[in-house]
Structure 1
Amino acid sequence: MGWRTLRDLLGRCAPEPTLTVAEVDALLGEVAATSGSGSASRRSELLSGLLSRATQGEQDFLLRLLTGELRQGALEGVMIEAIASATDVPGDLVRRAVMISGDLATTAAAAAGGGQGALRAFHLELGRPVRPMLASPADSLDQAVDGIAHPIVEYKMDGARIQVHRDGDDVHVYTRTLRDITRHAAELADLVRGLPCTSVVLDGETLALTDDGRPRPFQETMARFGSTRQEQVEALLLRPYFFDCLHLDGVDLLDAPLHRRREALHRVAGEHVIPGEAAPADAATLLESSLDAGHEGLMVKDPDTPYAAGRRGRAWLKVKPSHTLDLVVLAAEWGHGRRTGYLSNLHLGARDPDGGEPIMVGKTFKGLTDELLAWQTRHFPELERRSDDWTVHMRPELVVEIELDGVQTSTRYPGGVALRFARVLRYREDKDAADADTVDDVRALRRD
């Protein structure tokens, strides 16, 4: 049920509230279970009946709930802290259980019923992907390595994040968002099936390479995950670069320090380990090597830290020669001159860490190719919230990667900052708005 379909179902509203939570839950369960011939009509009938019994405020709530735009502040991070507080267990233990189970409700029930013991019983299961650990941006290479006695420094590649599970001959490949893409990445599954082990869980990146071994554009790598055309599959073979090992031959390594996980990684993955060094004598030379090979920069990691989902302080830091941010597209303005007839100038928002609407931090039309302008003009109206003669305001769903020279204080935008020389690099089809950088990340780049 898309947003436009739901909006079209809105009609007269009830003058007084009569709906109960149990009724709404039961009806939405019936909608979800409706399938087969005539199911679309039946779903519309059920939802139309529900909305007709709702007050205007209830209609607004239900519409935003069903389209994923409720945005009342109950983000996952907030809910994790709430579970910890309500059940009197450490927040790190709750985060670990959510990382492994992938489900807040399951974790909450375990914490409420069995406390710390129940949460510690959560363990990695082969075939059930683990939420990925992420890196925080560093201002410079010197700042990244400062304070880490023996840092692990690796290439930062512009590929697609993968997590591979093997149990005997059964292999599954998952994306950053935990989607199973095994059927689109048969060569990766075959490669892992041939590694010297019986069971393993590997974390890494995959890239499509040119004939001379340089990385192809990110969009070409991502195209593999949606392609069923044999000629495209053959033309864009994927090469894996693994940087972590979470399980090896019956031994879970999530809670082990990175240096132990890295030992297991080198034993099992061999030549498929991402280029890098432990405590390099000259990290700047390694950075130059990465950039010369066509990659983004470096990753700097603390060897004594366990694997933990999300961004965990200074455990993993990414170093790039220029700043990039993943921001949410809030609106687009109709272009002028040679861009007349195209949606062009983008309104950019950063994620509100407290769960509210994205906060606007700037605009840009730089970096938009003719192909991107045409794509925006076709696609953006599908996400329209409202529009006027100049601007199409959109649901905050699209994430775009923006390169910038810096950030400065500004009263022009609600975020209190403005992007300097911002330009579009690409749309991040592998991310949604919940993965965008926060307004705090943007403000941290401020130098004035």
Structure 2
Amino acid sequence: MLFADVVTASAELAATRSRKAKVATLSAVLRAADGAELGPTVAFLSGQTTQARLNAGWRTLADLGVDPAAGSSLTVTEVDTSLDELASAAGSGSAKQRAATLTALFGRATEREQHFLFRLITGELRQGALEGVMLDGIAAAAEVPSEAVRRAFMLSGRLAVTASAALTGGEPALRDFRLELGRPVRPMLATPAESLEEALAENTSRIVEYKMDGARIQVHRDGDEVHIYTRTLREITGHVAELVELVRALPCRSVVLDGETLALTDDGRPRPFQETMSRFGSTREEQVRALLLRPYFFDCLHLDGEDLLDAPLRERNAALREVAGEHVIPGEIEPADPAAILAKAMASGHEGVMVKGLDAPYAAGRRGRAWLKVKPVHTLDLVVLAAEWGHGRRTGFLSNLHLGARDPDGGPPIMVGKTFKGMTDELLAWQTERLRELETRRDSYTVHVRPELVVEIELDGAQTSTRYPGGLALRFARVVRYRPDKEAGDADTIDAVRATVRS
């Protein structure tokens, strides 16, 4: 397949807000890709590459100055091979090698293809094929049910693998995906509820449990072998020895548990989220001793050879209580006084409560209303789009953040406001360094960045406004914390922001 076909499809995706039109475009181009081309095609149209890290930034590409080719000749496979070479360049002479690879690649690309490559490599390619839209495109291309594709993706964790199975083997191949010990499952996520009353009304048969300010973990055990993963499926086993030891001691042969972990103060209250997250990158003995992590499990996906993903929560919860014992998150099934659980959670320093339907299976993503989170303090997870240079004591620091909400139809994040509040000097210094690493362009006042960082914002609702593209403006927004455990695709949608508008 010519690379130009992918570039044309990308332009069509960016030109429409219609989810139906996006799915039709994706379906057509995926059908045209052969087996070897399918992985890179899926990645490119999702705004990603098949390589984890390319080691080439905006400045490197801007300085190339390569004239475009007169006609299209590049194939998808050739582009992917060139990016492999770019990613593998290391050691003495690697900078010259990367420059040569990029020069050769861009020299064979037309002007449209060069523009696409520039945005793809710098992470600026936001054409409207986010995960959910791509999954629907795969289903349409393979003529299989969307639910079968979503389930296979939940179990495989990789879009390209899911697409290959769907397009080469159809629904039977998708059904072959199973939960495998040691391969993380994409997590089921919760939807915000406006109030406890709303959450209870939507799930009349329910469990109410604490919503903790911790880090999501998924643990796998097979005999003595233990693996622990974050929300983004990154393995952290080597950094959390105390959790590994605890899981090995559970009364079972094999298990997969979903839960939260956090560091506690001496009186049992949660430490700041950043302190918990700091453990995921450290093996220093003194830090480990000072910040022991405590797990709280809330779901059981497998126990002693039996997969429980499709079982209702009431059965999964029974298995959880059997195996996790004192490490089950606080909560009650069919509680007589849900408000008392919320009050107790808040008094203990936690965020609120979760209300979960007892009849629902485990499903990845923010789909349906089976899990609802109730947080009295209203917060949103938004994407940082840019930041303005500060003044006064903040001179030299990137301070005023431009904030975007996720477009549920797959478009680029939609700007909904700015804030410079809630930042300590330490956070300002870290933020400035990190945002400069993500820089794509700048003017005298503002540094624009790749939309990768997710920040939790506390706000007093939103109001209608013509000032920002989303038609909304955040009221009294302040930074609570950055969320390194989340990706841009996990950010709240523009619909979630609209839901905070006060009538």
- TM-score interval w.r.t. the shorter chain? over 0.9
Corresponding residue number in structure 2 for 1:24: 79
Deviations 1:172-204 (A, max 9, x none): 000001111001001101101000000000000
Q: Does the 8 Å contact 1:9/1:48 carry over to 2?
A: no
The structural deviation recorded for 1:9 is 4.8
- In the other structure, the counterpart of 2:382 is 327
Q: Determine which of 157, 160, 164 is the counterpart of 1:102.
A: 157
Matching residue within 464, 468, 477 for 1:409: 464
Which moved further from structure 2: 362-371 or 29-38?
A: 29-38
- Cα distance in 2 between the residues matched to 1:145 and 1:233: 39
SS of residue matched to 1:165: strand
Q: Which shows bigger deviation, 291-300 or 70-79?
A: 70-79
SS in structure 1 at match of 2:202: coil
Counterpart in 2 of 1:64? Answer: 119
Match of 1:152 among 175, 200, 207: 207
Counterpart in 2 of 1:447?
Answer: 502
The answer on whether the counterparts of 1:13 and 1:53 sit within 8 Å (CA) in structure 2 is: no
Distance 1:295 1:98, change over 3 A: same
Task: Please tell me the residue identity of whatever aligns with 1:246.
Answer: L
Q: Deviations over 1:203-230 (max 9, x none)?
A: 0000011111111100000000111311
More divergent stretch after superposition (42-51 vs 273-282): 42-51
Matches of 1:40 and 1:123 in 2, distance apart? 43
Instruction: Report the Cα distance in structure 1 between the residues aligned to 2:304 and 2:494, rounded to whole angstroms.
Output: 42
Q: Is the 8 A contact 1:10 1:52 kept in 2?
A: no
Mapped contact 1:9–1:47 kept (Cα < 8 A): no
Deviations 1:45-93 (A, max 9, x none): 2122211332332221112222332212221211111122222222111
AA at the equivalent of 2:351 = E
Alignment match of 1:164 (pick from 208, 215, 219): 219
Deviates more, 1:49-58 or 1:324-333: 49-58
- Quote the residue 2:6 is aligned against: none
Q: Does 1:354 align with 2:409?
A: yes
C-alpha distance in 2 between matches for 1:392 and 1:74: 25
2:34 equivalent in structure 1? none
Shift of 1:34: 4.5
> 2:233 aligned with 1:178, yes or no?
yes
- Asked whether the 8 Å contact 1:6–1:63 carries over to 2, the reply is no
Q: How does 1:137-286 map to 2 (within 5 A)?
A: 137-286=192-341
Q: Is this contact kept in 1: 2:74–2:108, CA < 8 A? A: no
Q: Is the 8 A contact 1:367 1:424 kept in 2?
A: yes
Moved more, 45-54 or 436-445: 45-54
Q: 1:302 to 1:414 in 2, by over 3 A?
A: same
Matched residue type, 2:273: F
**Per the alignment, in what secondary structure is the counterpart of residue 317 of structure 2?**
helix
Native 8 Å contact 1:11 1:52 kept in 2: no
SS at structure 1 position matched to 2:220:
strand
Percent of aligned pairs with the same amino acid = 71
- CA drift of 1:364 comes to 1.2
Map of 2:369 onto structure 1: 314
Secondary structure of the residue aligned to 1:277 is strand
**Is contact 1:184-1:224 (8 Å) kept?**
yes
Equivalenced residue count is 448
Listed as ranges, the gaps of 5+ residues in structure 2 are 1-54
Describe the SS at the equivalent of 1:310: coil
CA distance in structure 2 between the partners assigned to 1:296 and 1:379 by the alignment: 27
Give the superposition deviation at 1:405: 1.3
Paired position in structure 1 for 2:46: none
Query: What amino acid maps onto 2:226 in structure 1?
Result: V
1:134 aligned to which of 189, 208, 211: 189
Q: Please, which moves more after superposition, 190-199 or 38-47?
A: 38-47
Distance 1:80 1:290 in 2: 37
Two-structure CA RMSD over aligned residues (Å)? 1.7
Give the Cα–Cα distance (whole angstroms) in 1 for the partners of residues 243 and 322 of structure 2: 18
Determine if the alignment matches structure 1 residue 418 to structure 2 residue 473. Answer: yes
Q: Which moved more, 1:146-155 or 1:215-224?
A: 146-155
Alignment check: 8 A CA contact 2:383 2:488 kept: yes
Instruction: Give 2:68's aligned residue.
Output: 14
Letter in 2 for 1:436: A
Equivalent-residue separation in structure 2 for 1:356 and 1:13 (angstroms)? 30
Query: Contact between 2:129 and 2:411, CA under 8 Å: does it hold in 1?
Result: no
Tell whether the 8 Å contact from 2:232 to 2:487 is kept in structure 1 after alignment. no
Q: 74, 80, 92: which one pairs with 2:129?
A: 74
Residues 369-388 of structure 1: pairs in structure 2 closer than 5 A: 369-388=424-443
AA matched with 1:247 = H
Q: Find the counterpart in structure 1 of residue 98 from structure 2.
A: 43
Distance 1:252 1:381 in 2: 45
Partner of 1:342: 397
**Separation in structure 1 between the aligned mates of residue 98 and residue 391 of structure 2, nearest angstrom:** 43
1:399 is the counterpart of 2:454: yes
Alignment CA distance shift 1:229-1:372 (3 Å): same
- Hey, what's the Cα distance between the residues in 2 that align with 1:70 and 1:43? 21
Segments of structure 1 that go 5 or more residues without pairing to the other structure are none
Shift of 1:239: 0.3
Give 1:280's aligned amino acid: P
Hey, what's the Cα distance between the residues in 2 that align with 1:210 and 1:380? 31
Q: In structure 2, the residue corresponding to 1:220 is in which secondary structure?
A: helix
Partner of 2:11: none
- Per the alignment, residue 58 of structure 2 pairs with 4
